[in-house]
Amino acid sequence: MQLVQIDGDADLTIHNISILPSDQCATEEQRSNVGFMFGRLNNGWTHVAIYGFVYPMLVLVMIAPLSAVMLGMSKREKREGESRYVSPNPLYQLISLLCFCAWMSLLAPLPFSCWYYVLGDGLRHMNQSIAMCHLFRNTMEVIPHTTDTLITLCSVILAGARFLTQYHRNTLKLRTVERFSRAILFVILLSVILGGLRFFEHDVALYSLCMDTEPGPYWARVIQSQKIFLPLADLFAQFILPGAALILIHIGFNRERVIDCQPDEQ
């Protein structure tokens, strides 16, 4: 049975997918990963709806508020810095960093999504390439994952700073600019490390597939991925660490007295 190169415009009914030259060359985990990657990128109508329609609309909606936040924070930081003749407030720097991360998380998946789901070139061509693998891994996973981790941990820092400022104004040792800057640098370093782990998470390899289809068999190539260390690191950095910190902050807020902002009646 002669195999030919897959035609992107052909109307295929896929009956079976097998790894060449023999199924004995791959383990059960590899076969499941290949099938998952193949179905996730090519046959999922939910991905087409989300990344082909919902995500582009979300980009258009979020451009105006993110631009307004970044412009307002930059003007406020510049005005207060000029009036006090001191270094910029690290709190404003953290908010600007959050806004920048939101921009990166919003725009990073745009190139792959437009090429693959909006224009439809990826849907019509099932033969994946190394270039597409790197584009998918970096723009759809590494950059958004790094910025989302950074946003989560920076939000915890903001909550902690708010708690110390509102209820513990005498604890100057905990609210110094140096400690605040060190906390920001620690969060950035941790997020970059997790992003690097996600970059090396996948073993970049193309597997040749024999698709038993109608009207005939076709060649196809798909990327096989393999998890290494990242799931445990994600669990700690994105759930356990911020979750425990937020629980402690919440307990601290509940234990403090309620501040009454209304003037006393005479």
More confident site: 115 or 82? 115
Strand 13-19 relative to strand 205-214: parallel, antiparallel, unpaired? antiparallel
pLDDT, tens digit (0-9, with 9 covering 90-100), for 82-99: 555 555 567 777 888 888
Phi then psi for 186, rounded to 5 degrees? -65, -45
pLDDT for position 21: 41
Strand 4-5 relative to strand 13-19: parallel, antiparallel, unpaired? unpaired
Q: Rounded to an integer, what distance in angstroms lies between the CA atom of residue 168 and that of residue 217?
A: 71
pLDDT for position 120: 64
Cβ partners under 8 Å of residue 106, min gap 6: 58, 59, 62, 66
Determine how many CB atoms are found less than 10 A away from the CB of residue 151: 18
Instruction: Give 113's pLDDT tier (boundaries 50, 70, 90).
Output: confident
pLDDT, tens digit (0-9, with 9 covering 90-100), for 14-67: 444 444 444 444 455 555 555 544 444 545 677 778 888 888 898 999 888 888
Secondary structure element (H or E) that encloses residue 206, with its range: strand 205-214
Determine how many CB atoms are found less than 10 A away from the CB of residue 68: 11
Secondary structure element (H or E) that encloses residue 144, with its range: helix 143-167
Most confident of the ranges 100-104, 191-195, 232-236: 100-104
Q: Given strand 4-5, what is the order of strands in its sheet?
A: 4-5, 218-224, 205-214, 13-19
Picking from 254, 251, 246, the residue whose alpha carbon sits closest to that of residue 159 is 246
Mean pLDDT (the chain, rounded): 69
pTM across the whole model: 0.64
pLDDT for position 86: 53
Strand 205-214 relative to strand 218-224: parallel, antiparallel, unpaired? antiparallel
What is the fold, at CATH topology level, of the domain defined by 4-247? Rhopdopsin 7-helix transmembrane proteins (1.20.1070)
